Amino acid sequence: MNPNHLSKMIAKYIVRNQTHKILMVLRPYQLYAVEKLVAQVENNTENAYI
């Protein structure tokens, strides 16, 4: 794995599981979805909700 990609995953895509009190890395399809949502919000001036 590319070190840059690994550091990005650790910095941006770790979530806390409150039930089990652990940190979890998002799955690949979740990473893709988050990146697309962020890109949509950054490039769009219309109001919306998720």
Over residues 2-26, the pLDDT tens digits come to 788 788 778 888 888 899 999 998 8
Question: Residue 19 corresponds to which tokens in the numbers above?
Answer: 């039930």
In the chain, the amino acid numbered 6 is L
What phi and psi values does residue 20 have, to the nearest 5 degrees? Answer: -100, 0
State the average pLDDT over residues 38-43. Answer: 85
Could you report the per-residue pLDDT of 26-40, keeping only the tens digit for each? 888 988 888 888 888
Residue 49 pLDDT exceeds 80: no
Q: Are 15 and 23 in contact (CB under 8 A)?
A: yes
What is the predicted pLDDT for the residue at 50? 64
Contact 36, 43 (CB under 8 A): no
User: Domain boundaries in the chain?
Assistant: 3-43
